[in-house]
Amino acid sequence: MPGLLDRLPDGARVVIIRLRSLGDCVLTTPAIEVLKRARPDLRLAVVVEKRFAGVFEGNPNVDCIMDPAVRSVRAWRAALCLNLHGGTRSMALAALSGARWRAGFAHHRGAWIYNLRIPRAQEILGEERTVHTAEHLASAMFCLGVPKMDIPRARLFVEERPASRPYAVIHPFASEPGKAWLAERFAELARRIEETWRLEPVFIGGGGDDFTPFGAWRCVAGVPLAEVKSLLASASLFVGNDSGPAHMAAAFGVPLLVIFGTSDPAIWAPWKTPAQVIAAGPAIQQVRVEEALAALERLKVEV
């Protein structure tokens, strides 16, 4: 139903379902921003799992962050429910939201629950090419009736803490082996970054990650998302595999070097921030430290 946005009354409530995945949550923020630019009067709630709620905390475009519970969603009394997630749980929340209008991507299994089915991003954008995740999510807003516009950078919000010395955040972990560069090469790259750019390497990861190869440096493991945001906001450089923290760094405008394995940079590259990408494909573990250093030289990191 093109032009639905014009049919929503002033001050209408909208609930956006984006349950999880750190990078996906971060890349939802440009879509939220273009919606609020078009209709600043709307009141927006985001439904997200608690472990990822920190992505949306402090965002002036978000009026409410809620747990994925039917009771909470129905209590918001939304005129429009927009499902950007697509799994079974999110579809159940959309179906039971109580919203007059329920929107979601037409390719979702069970899309019959929507009375607005959003077509492929390529159809909305009017061009046949691989689209970035930020474009895919923002295209849903254009389908609702937001005038097409330049899609902004993702944005995160946190109180920055001044650093005692410049540092580089390094995230050497990945969700699967095909996306992970060798740990010993991250360690060697950290040494070279420290020597060449005089940046303190700071390694980050989850509580269950193995930091043994990086014991010579400061390691931050399993801390709340708010603390990770603060650390990234003041960093001079980010280096890592394709991951959620890489998208967080990009949202703060931190220069990035991201090493890609099996994921597609056309879909997941850092969005609208200074970045160098090494697209290695299945050969990610064969990427040499010298290749990474050359990419950093091209990035022209300023300390």
Strands 101-105 and 116-118, by their bridges, are parallel
Residue type, 248: M
CA–CA gap between residue 210 and residue 245 (Å, rounded)? 17
User: To which H or E segment does residue 102 belong?
Assistant: strand 101-105
Angle, alpha carbons 147-148-152 (nearest 5°): 115
Q: Where are the alpha helices (DSSP H) in the chain?
A: 4-7, 22-26, 29-38, 70-75, 88-95, 121-125, 133-144, 183-197, 225-233, 244-251, 265-268, 289-299
Exposure class string for 276-303: b at 16+ Cβ within 10 A, else e: bbbbbeeebeebebeebbebbeebebee
- At residue 37, the pLDDT reads 98
Contact, 234 vs 161, CB < 8 A?
yes
Assess contact for 55 and 156: CB atoms under 8 A.
Answer: yes
Of 147, 119, 152, the C-alpha closest to 134 is 152
The pTM (predicted TM-score) of the whole model is 0.96
Query: What is the reported pLDDT for 38?
Result: 97
Annotate 253-267 with b (16+ C-beta within 10 A) or e (fewer): ebbbbbbbbebebee
Single out the residue of 263, 224, 178, 286 nearest to residue 57, CA to CA: 224
For domain 4-144, the CATH superfamily is Glycogen Phosphorylase B; (3.40.50.2000)
86: left (phi over 0), alpha (psi -120 to 50) or beta: left
| CATH level 3 topology of 167-299 | Rossmann fold (3.40.50)
DSSP state of 220: E
pLDDT tens track, the chain, 303 positions: 458 999 999 999 999 999 999 999 999 999 999 999 999 999 999 999 999 999 999 999 999 999 999 999 999 999 999 999 989 999 999 999 999 999 999 998 889 999 999 999 999 999 999 999 999 999 999 999 999 999 999 999 998 777 789 999 999 999 899 999 999 999 999 999 999 999 999 999 999 999 999 999 999 999 999 999 999 999 999 999 999 999 999 999 999 999 999 999 999 999 999 999 999 999 999 999 999 999 999 998 876
207 Ramachandran zone, left/alpha/beta (phi>0; psi -120 to 50): alpha
- Domains in the chain: boundaries: 4-144, 167-299
Question: Same CATH topology for 4-144 and 167-299?
Answer: yes
The count of other CB atoms within 10 Å of the CB of residue 232 is 24
CB atoms closer than 10 angstroms to residue 126: 7
